[in-house]
Amino acid sequence: MGNSLKPLIFFGTLYFLACRVFSNLELRSPVITDWGDWHFMDDCPQDKFVVGMQLRTHNYQGFWTDDSALNGVKFFCDQLGSRSDQIAVASGQENHGSFGTKKFCDGVATGFQLRSEGSQGWASDDTAGNNLRLICNANSSTQIEGDGLDFGSWTTPQECNRKQGLCGYSSQIDHDLSSGDITGLNNIKMKCCSIPDPAETCEPEDKWDLLIECDNIDALTETTCQYTRKVGISHSAAYSEGYSHLVSTYVQVGFTLDQALSALGINFGTNLGRNSTTGYDWTASTSDVWSVETTTSISFNVPPGVRTQLFQTMGKCGIYTVRATRVRRVDTEGATNNQTVTFIDI
C-alpha cells in the first residue's frame, strides 16, 4: 500500500464530504390535511441522529369541545449506540395538551409514519394529526409508537435511504383561533442524513493477543498442542448488551461486514502503519487480512521442559477486530527461565 494509499485517501475524503452535502434527503408526511403554517427545520447536532420521541397530545375533550389531538413532537438526538433525552429538536407546536411518555428506538430512527384524520366537514370537529410512529434501524417491523389519539388512519411510511438516519424536523401547525376548530399538528417534514461509515471513522489500534499457552515444562517428551487460527476481519466481541445492539444497528442500516474491508485497510494503513506497540506493518498486510475472518485448526509441537505461548497481532477499530497473520512465539525453559522469541506467519 504505502504511497499508493494517498490518492485513495484524497478521493475517499472528497467522496465522504460530497455524500454529507448532497445525499441528505427530506421526507414529508402524505398530505391528508393542509392547515397551518410550516415552522423552521430544527436539526440534530452534527453526526447525531433521532433516537426517540415524545408527543404533545390534546386528549379527547368530549363531543361538545374542540379536539386538536397531536399538537407537537420532541425528537431526541444522540449518537448511535446511545439514547439520551438531553438533546431535543421540537420545531413548532401548539400549546394545547401535555407531553406524554418518552419512547426510544433500540438503535436509530430511519423513518416515520403519521396517523392523520381527514376533514370532517364544516359542522364537525377536525383533529388532523393524531399519532406518530418511528421506524427503527431500517426495519419496518421494528417501530415505536407514540401515545397519541386514534382518530383517522395511518399514512404511508416514509423512510430514509440505506446508511441514513433521521436528523431534523419541521412541523406544520394550525394555530388559527378564528375558526374555532384548532387542529394543531397537520404534517411533518423530516431530514435524513448520512451516517458516518464506522470503518472510516474508527480509530485503529493494535496489540499482541494471547492465542494459547501450552505448558510442557514437567514433561519428558515432546507434546503437540492445537489452536484455532483466525485471520481477517470480524465484528468485535460484544462486551455488553448495548455494544451488541450497536453492531446490530450498523448492520441493519446497511454497513455490512463485507463492505468495510477496503475502508478498514486504508484506515489501518494510513493511521497506524507500522505501530510501535507490535512492530507490525499494516500497510504490508496480505489480502487474507483484509477479508472476512476465516478459521483453521493448527497444531504445533512443544519440546519437553518448555512452556510455549503464542501471541497474534490483533487490531481493533470501533466495532471491528482485525487479526493479522503475524504470530510471536515465546518459548520459556523451565530449568533456566530463559526465553526464546521467534516471529512466524500463520
For the chain, the C-alpha Rg in angstroms (whole number) is 28
The CATH homologous superfamily of the domain defined by 2-195: Vitelline membrane outer layer protein I (VOMI) (2.100.10.20)
Is residue 261 within a helix (H) or strand (E), and if so which, with residue range?
helix 257-271
Per-residue burial over 298-314, b = 16 or more CB atoms within 10 Å of its CB, e = otherwise: eebebeeebbbbbbbbb
Cell triple for 7: 490518492
One-letter amino acid of 105: C
As a whole number, mean pLDDT of residues 56-78 equals 77
Rounded to the nearest angstrom, the gap between the alpha carbon of residue 135 and the centroid of all alpha carbons in its chain is 14
The domain spans of the chain are: 2-195, 199-345
Residues with Cβ within 8 Å of residue 139, at least 6 apart in sequence = 252
Query: Hey, what long-range contacts does 267-273 have (CB within 8 A, 24 or more apart)?
Result: 267/199, 267/200, 267/202, 267/204, 267/317, 268/204, 268/315, 268/317, 268/322, 269/1, 269/2, 269/5, 270/5, 270/9, 271/203, 271/204, 272/204, 272/205, 272/206, 272/315
Checking if the pLDDT of 291 tops 50, the result is yes
Q: Residue 96 has what DSSP assignment?
A: S
More confident residue, 244 or 296: 296
Identical fold for domains 2-195 and 199-345, yes or no, is no
Residue 307 binned pLDDT confidence (cut-offs 50, 70, 90): very high
pLDDT in tens, 123-182: 556 778 999 999 999 998 899 999 999 999 999 999 999 999 999 999 999 876 655 567
More confident residue, 133 or 35: 133
pLDDT in tens, 92-126: 888 888 899 999 999 999 999 999 998 876 655 67
Q: Minimal CA–CA distance to 77: which of 161, 158, 193, 184? A: 193
> Which CATH code, of 3.40.50, 3.30.310, 2.60.120, 2.40.128, is assigned to 199-345?
2.60.120
Share of the chain above pLDDT 70, in %: 86
Global pTM reads 0.83
Residue 3 binned pLDDT confidence (cut-offs 50, 70, 90): very low
